[in-house]
């Protein structure tokens, strides 16, 4: 019989992303994106996000190392959505003006 893992600072509502229990608007994937992009330690996460406790940061890291696939999928989906939206928006008015002036 395998023991169930418990992450005291994280909740995963049905069909939703894992998030902090104390601050539900903060998703685990948001904090993991900082870890992946900048290599932040839990201590650095707390310096950059003052609302975060050290135990929450360590729990986020443990959750990610135990469940990397869903977090990685969530981050990939966000990047793909951002790319689609950027392409759909087209060039900004500033870029259009600079291009027309031959400065871009």
Model confidence over 51-64: pLDDT tens digits?
999 999 999 999 99
Domain 10-100: which topology?
Answer: Arc Repressor Mutant, subunit A (1.10.10)
Q: Specify the pTM.
A: 0.81
Q: What's the pLDDT tens digit per position in 16-51?
A: 999 999 999 999 999 999 999 999 999 999 999 999
Parse the chain into domains and list their residue ranges: 10-100
What is the residue-wise DSSP string for the chain? Answer: -PPPP--TTEE--TTS--EESSSTTSBHHHHHHHHHHH---HHHHHHHSTT--HHHHHHHHHHHHH-HHHHHHHHHHHHHHHHHHHHHH-S-HHHHHHHHTT--
């Amino acid at each position: 019989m395998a023991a169930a893992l418990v992450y005291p600072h994280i909740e995963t509502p049905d069909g939703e992303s894992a998030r902090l229990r104390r601050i539900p608007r903060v998703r685990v994937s948001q904090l993991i994106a900082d870890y992946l992009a900048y290599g932040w330690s839990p201590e650095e996460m707390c310096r950059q996000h003052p609302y975060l406790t050290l135990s929450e940061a360590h729990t986020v890291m443990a959750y990610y190392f135990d469940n990397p696939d869903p977090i990685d999928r969530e981050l990939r989906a966000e990047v793909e959505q951002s790319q689609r939206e950027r392409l759909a928006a087209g060039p900004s008015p500033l870029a259009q003006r600079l291009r027309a002036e031959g400065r871009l």
